[in-house]
Amino acid sequence: MKFRNFTLLVGLIAFTGGVIGLAVTLLLSWFIWVPALIVMSPGLAVIFLLIKYTPLGKWLFNIYASVYDWAFYKSEGARNFLWQEFYDLICWLYPQVRWRLMNYGYAPLTEDGALIKDVPKEYEEEKFPVQLYHYVASALGKSKNLNNQVVLEVGSGRGGGLSYISTQMGPKLSVGVDFSANQIEFCKGAYAKYDRLSFYQGNAEQLSAVEGLKDLKFDTIINVESSHCYGNFRRFIREVSSMLKPDGHFCFTDFRQHNEIDQLEEELTSSGLVIEKKENITANVLHALKLDEARRNQLIEGFVHSWLRPIFRKFSGLQGSRINDAMKAGETLYMAYVLRLKA
């Protein structure tokens, strides 16, 4: 972890040094680029107008969106690497214990969006992300608790969801696995007082190789808004099936483009799992994001460096972000499933 943090620090220093160097160069060479900019300004104005008011702008944006989508949502090795580095970086930059959940949340379509009547005080601030965990872990409302079960969360992030499950839903043992070394260290510190809760670094596509899981089989495996980071989803499902007890359950939720749902369900059932229940919860997620907008904005304004705020607003799914707009338009669906491993 120390080496990774040192690498991140070096990267940030190099980036900052590059920005400062560029600024100094521009200041020292003003007598070259200012006249050039004045001469070129009519041409730049024409280019701006073409991009803003003709199909050229849409074409350029589509190229950017295609490259971004491939890198973060379609590729295999690049996707794993990019998301791992991203989560390592933000956990290192922002280790606040106040921020423990990162999903978009869940809310019934009521005025207050309350699913849990008496949210424990320590989870009140993040109640909508907690409600997504509660809904998914309760098998989409089919079960009241996980009493005496051995539970695994793959993609446990900063651990807030699994700590809620461990302390409020009654499992005998709760284990979290995440590919981010920094997030695992965060969890080991933040939840050290819970003796039935443990965390291990590992790859979702190689669960059987995670040292802490080798002697365990699980009654329930949970995966919340994490699988879009995996390069090979089918391999992940094989690993899930191998870690479940016979008749064990896999509780899964994440977003996909509307034309990818058939492929998603084919992959979900490719290794012996059968779908017992499924729901399109897009409306519930959008409602949660709307109700949680002020809190998310407050956190971004209060903790995030100004130059990173646009990225965090996009990442948080706020109004006007691409993911929020895509869900409203029906282009992206947020799905939830309960699957059982055939005995």
Q: One digit per residue, pLDDT tens: the chain, 343 residues?
A: 555 565 656 566 666 666 666 666 766 676 666 666 666 667 767 777 777 778 877 887 788 788 888 888 888 889 989 999 999 999 999 888 889 999 999 999 999 999 998 999 999 999 999 999 999 999 998 888 999 999 999 999 999 999 999 999 999 999 999 999 999 999 999 999 999 999 999 999 999 999 899 889 999 999 999 999 999 999 999 999 999 999 999 999 999 999 999 999 999 999 999 999 999 999 999 999 999 999 999 999 998 988 889 889 988 999 999 999 999 999 999 999 999 999 8
Start-to-end Cα distance in the chain: 40
Sign, CA dihedral 297-94-283-121, equals: negative
> Residue 316: which of 283, 284, 294 has the closest Cα?
294
Alpha-carbon distance values, 91 to 51, 77, 128, 305 (Å): 37, 21, 21, 14
* Residue 42 one-letter amino acid: P
Alpha-carbon distance values, 309 to 86, 137, 158, 315 (Å): 14, 32, 20, 10
- Cα 63 to Cα 343: distance, rounded to the nearest angstrom: 47
The pTM of this model reads: 0.84
